Amino acid sequence: MKPIYHELGFNVTCIDTQHIRKDFVASYLIEDNGQAAFIDTGCHLSVPTLLATLNAKNISRESVDYILLTHIHIDHAGGAGELIKHLPNAMVYVHEYGYKHLIDPSKLCAGVVQVYGELFFKQFLGDLIPISKQRIIIAKDSDEVTLGKRILRFIDTPGHARHHVCIWDEKSRGIFSGDTLGVSYREFNISQGKLIFPPTTPIQFDPGVWKKTINQLMSLKPKYAYLTHFNRIDFDQDSANMLIEHINGFVNIANTLKTQPNRVKAIKEALLNYLLTLASKQGVTLDEQQQIKLFKGDLGICAQGLNVWLDHQN
């Protein structure tokens, strides 16, 4: 297997996990003074790509000290149990609310099958492998790990999910943000900047908390956001404002349609129109059918998240 990866400077590599399509789900590899760490893993089926990247970069499996998980959604952490089998010295760091689901992923597996279906799970995600509790460390707010001469700091970042952390890298002034700083696919890049939107997935979407989290992260004055979906982007206050604007936009759609009889379908259709209008206003030149294809993977899950949020409000 020939892996696809992008060298980003600062000894950070963005690995395309090749989940469903190219340029969709990233795992990051950080190196410093002979030590290495993965941030997020992709799903179980992504692990061969991660191992092939180590081989391509002549990094021994023994030198990988950490698997750092932003949260336990399966496209971010589904491969952790399989990956750690190949990394004899690595420890897994995860938010305390995700800890038990790594030890016993049965509930997580059942939830994923309920949302996506068993066929999708087997074909595109693979499996979920339990991890021994002796190899897991709970990552609390402000905890730090040392990688060579580099300090990586965990920040508790609820909003997208309650079990979400971001990881601050002072060396690059970058935030490994999982889903907290949004989704921004490279196909939508334009000269004026990036198109960023919020993945409002179930079951813990909380718009008020999420906006507070974004403002908290901006106090670090980051230069970059290392997005799982997809790759590193420049991230400044304008980027944060855009993300907050679209959190509000998604919430407004949900509130407007909350009495619709087929609420999830109505929200999904409205979200697509919202995103297509946004892309047009920003000067995206992709054919509309290409845009729909790129947005499609997020629309259903975002609509479900907004639907669950509306139920919680009631």
Strands of the 165-169 sheet, one edge to the other: 144-147, 150-156, 165-169, 174-178, 224-227, 231-234
Q: How confident is the model at residue 232 (pLDDT cuts 50, 70, 90)?
A: very high
* Torsion angle, alpha carbons of 121, 306, 178, 49, to 10: 20
What pLDDT, on the 0 to 100 scale, is given for residue 264?
A: 96
Q: Which of 90-94, 208-212, 267-271, 282-286 has the lowest mean pLDDT?
A: 282-286
Tokens of 228: 């799982």
Residue 110 has pLDDT above 70, yes or no: yes
Q: Which of 84-88, 143-147, 285-289 has the lowest mean pLDDT?
A: 285-289
pLDDT digit string (tens) for 162-221? Answer: 999 999 999 999 999 999 999 999 999 876 568 999 999 988 999 999 999 999 999 999
Tokens of 184: 């921004």
**What is the SS3 string spanning 257-279?**
CCCCCCHHHHHHHHHHHHHHHHH
Query: Is residue 227 within 8 Å of residue 181, measured between CB atoms?
Result: yes
Q: How confident is the model at residue 42 (pLDDT cuts 50, 70, 90)?
A: very high
Query: Is residue 230 within 8 Å of residue 184, measured between CB atoms?
Result: yes
Tokens of 192: 């004026």
Residue 46 has pLDDT above 90, yes or no: yes
What pLDDT, on the 0 to 100 scale, is given for residue 192?
A: 59
pLDDT digit string (tens) for 235-271? Answer: 999 999 999 999 999 999 999 999 999 999 999 999 9
In the chain, what are the domains? 4-236 (3.60.15.10), 241-313 (no CATH)
Other beta carbons within 10 Å of 188? 21
Q: What is the average pLDDT score of the chain?
A: 94
pLDDT digit string (tens) for 2-28? Answer: 899 999 999 999 999 999 899 999 999
pLDDT digit string (tens) for 114-172? Answer: 777 777 767 767 788 999 999 999 999 999 999 999 999 999 999 999 999 999 999 99
Q: How confident is the model at residue 314 (pLDDT cuts 50, 70, 90)?
A: confident
What pLDDT, on the 0 to 100 scale, is given for residue 193?
A: 67
Give the residue-averaged pLDDT of 68-96. Answer: 97
Q: What are phi and psi of 52, to 5 degrees?
A: -65, -30
Give the residue-averaged pLDDT of 29-38. Answer: 98
What pLDDT, on the 0 to 100 scale, is given for residue 191?
A: 61
**Higher pLDDT among residues 106 and 97, named by residue:** 97
Strands annotated E in the chain: 4-7, 12-16, 26-32, 35-39, 64-68, 91-94, 136-138, 144-147, 150-156, 165-169, 174-178, 224-227, 231-234
- What is the rounded distance in angstroms from the CA atom of residue 33 to the CA atom of residue 11? 10
Query: Is residue 175 within 8 Å of residue 224, measured between CB atoms?
Result: yes
What pLDDT, on the 0 to 100 scale, is given for residue 139?
A: 98
3-state DSSP call for residue 252?
helix
What pLDDT, on the 0 to 100 scale, is given for residue 111?
A: 76
